[in-house]
Amino acid sequence: MSDATAESPPRTRWDVIVVGGGPSGMFAAHEAARHGRRVLLFEAGDGMAQSLCPRVKAVARGRRIRDAEKFRLQCAHCTCLTGLGGAAFHFDTNLGYIKGLTRSKVESDGQGGVRAYSGLERALGGFETARHEIGEVYELFYGFGLTRADFPEAAPGPAGGTAGFALADTAPSQPIMVDEALVVMDRMSAEITRSTGRILLRHRVTRVARRADGFAVRVEGDHGGEYTARSVIVAVGKLGLGWVREVLAELDVAYATPERIDVGVRLEVSLDEAAPLTENCHNPKFGFLNEAEDTVRTFCVCVGGRIMQYEFLDTVVLDGQHCLSAPTRRTNFGVVTSVRVPPGEDGTQHGLDFARRVNKVGRGGAVVQQAADFLGWRERPTRQLASSLPAAVRGDLAGALGRRRVADVAQMIERLNDFSPGMIGGHALIAAPVVERVYPAITLSHEMESSVPGLFFAGDSSSKIIGVTYGAVTGRIAARAALAR
């Protein structure tokens, strides 16, 4: 892997510059390098092994990461979300569909019915294109060292009529442990840097400016300065939102405020109680439309996992942590609503305001409330469940969310209990805030190119998709389009 502090300064002129070393950025750089193009990737963080949780590194001492995984007890606000591999690979995770792509989301069709879709399908302009690209990404993952799993073909979605859900998608997904992710990242890095590519760690891009023949990129770090390229692929994660907004403004990139964002909670129950939901699929997707025809869905099911919180701009938000190598006795998953942003409001700020409102109740952090209290049940729970969230603050979460979001969670719990009676009891825990899809809605072609020729956005920063395999696909698509220029 390239070490930015040990090598001579790189050339200043490149064919493609990639900003961000997460899955989308790494796959973009690899695609460019394998075609013999000069590609330079900047990652603000360190190498993956160096940027893992300090507690895990201290305990591992040469052993496999999974042997020390149980010591990842989480700080109050996790900061291990940067570095090569991105936030996704710093924890055990599920990559997604294994042999096929399903339309795992539903929305109102505007005529009283529902339609199913895939975010990747819409980003690329066709379902078969998206399915093919997912298959190629998986083959690359296997070539880089991911254990090949043999699952049946993905089940078609949606499967309506299941306990009142408009969607019940149980397509199998592929797990990846941190140890495997380390191998994958090392092998990808070696292939990128073997000939025409270069990776500079601990280098932060501060500015992207237009030139007559492409772009000038200003960088801070040991080899800081100005680098130029005909094309630039922006592939930063959620935490790069503030910087991306600056790039959009300075380059006058066409975008709109998001019309819909995802807001909600994480619901936590015991491992045994969630078993009927997850026994046939580790990341089932259930969804329905509420009275306002907004989609309410499950999101990121973490079987045997923990809830984690991290700092996002000036707020704290929640996510699920997969603990595949050292599972807990709990399962947690998101319940999010795709809400319409009120006319005249900025969608990004609307999502941040949602998080801030909850943070205020949590005295600067997340809030946890027992389901019986959250839902106003008269019957008191006969047992207690300790939250996996460190330093959990108990408070009036229902009051912070408001009537409509409480109703959405209540309907999801009702449907889950119809699916498996008693799954969600009064002792279950509900934690918030969860905020997703708050990136500005950038105008992109199906090749991920923005209104500024040669400037591409991939992964989370594209505003079109989230997830490891989806991000990898968009990175490769963007790289191929950049090479065609």
pLDDT of amino acid 79 = 58
The answer to which of 47-51, 360-364, 379-383, 409-413 has the lowest mean pLDDT is 47-51
CA distance 54 to 57: 5
Tokens 């900047």 — which residue? 42
pLDDT of amino acid 163 = 72
CA distance 358 to 396: 9
Tokens 């905020």 — which residue? 435
Specify the 3-state DSSP secondary structure of 136. helix
- Whether residue 452 is predicted with pLDDT greater than 50 in this model: the reply is yes
Contacts of 25 (CB under 8 A, 6+ apart): 18, 19, 41, 43, 86, 233, 235, 236, 458, 459, 475
CA distance 194 to 211: 29
pLDDT of amino acid 57 = 55
pLDDT of amino acid 94 = 87
pLDDT of amino acid 474 = 98
What is the mean pLDDT of the segment spanning 139-154?
A: 82
248-251: long-range pairs with CB below 8 Å, 24+: 248/440, 248/442, 250/207, 250/208, 250/209, 251/208, 251/209, 251/210, 251/452, 251/455
pLDDT of amino acid 377 = 94
Q: Check whether the bond before 258 is cis (ω within 30° of 0).
A: no
- Grade residue 9 by pLDDT with cuts at 50, 70 and 90: low
The answer to which of 88-92, 159-163, 249-253 has the lowest mean pLDDT is 159-163
Q: What is the mean pLDDT of the chain?
A: 89
What is the mean pLDDT of the segment spanning 306-335?
A: 90
- Whether residue 470 is predicted with pLDDT greater than 90 in this model: the reply is yes
CA distance 239 to 375: 32
pLDDT of amino acid 66 = 56
CA distance 222 to 40: 15
What is the mean pLDDT of the segment spanning 107-114?
A: 89
- Whether residue 1 is predicted with pLDDT greater than 50 in this model: the reply is no
pLDDT of amino acid 442 = 98
CA distance 64 to 61: 9
Contacts of 126 (CB under 8 A, 6+ apart): none
pLDDT of amino acid 160 = 46
pLDDT of amino acid 2 = 46
CA distance 425 to 423: 6
Query: What amino acid occupies position 309?
Result: Q
**Interval 331-360: pLDDT, tens:** 999 999 999 999 999 999 999 999 999 999
- Grade residue 171 by pLDDT with cuts at 50, 70 and 90: confident
In terms of Cα–Cα distance, which of 394, 388, 413, 393 is closest to 330? 388
**Interval 222-262: pLDDT, tens:** 999 999 999 999 999 988 999 999 999 999 999 999 999 99
What is the mean pLDDT of the segment spanning 122-150?
A: 93
CA distance 97 to 324: 17
- Grade residue 156 by pLDDT with cuts at 50, 70 and 90: very low
Whole-angstrom Cα Rg for the chain? 22
pLDDT of amino acid 80 = 62
Instruction: Tell me, yes or no, if the pTM score tops 0.95.
Output: no
Query: What amino acid occupies position 301?
Result: V
Specify the 3-state DSSP secondary structure of 459. helix
pLDDT of amino acid 20 = 97
The answer to which of 62-71, 122-131, 294-303 has the lowest mean pLDDT is 62-71
pLDDT of amino acid 315 = 92
Cα dihedral value 205, 37, 468, 338, nearest 10: 70
- Whether residue 282 is predicted with pLDDT greater than 60 in this model: the reply is yes
**Interval 187-230: pLDDT, tens:** 999 999 998 999 999 999 999 999 999 999 999 999 999 999 99
pLDDT of amino acid 33 = 97
Q: Which residue has the higher pLDDT, 293 or 67?
A: 293
CATH class (in words) of the domain with range 13-92+179-256+440-484: alpha beta
Token pair, residue 85, equals: 């591999």
In terms of Cα–Cα distance, which of 185, 111, 123 is closest to 475? 123
Domain-wise residue ranges, the chain: 13-92+179-256+440-484, 259-436
Q: Check whether the bond before 156 is cis (ω within 30° of 0).
A: no
Cα–Cα distance list, 245 to 61, 205, 237, 322 (Å): 40, 14, 13, 30
Which helix (H) or strand (E) segment holds residue 228: the answer is strand 225-234
3-state secondary structure 91-103: CEEEEEECCCCCC
- Whether residue 132 is predicted with pLDDT greater than 80 in this model: the reply is yes
In terms of Cα–Cα distance, which of 288, 284, 285, 278 is closest to 165? 288
Token pair, residue 380, equals: 């008191």
pLDDT of amino acid 375 = 96
Strand boundaries in 36-122, DSSP class E: 39-43, 93-97, 105-108, 114-117
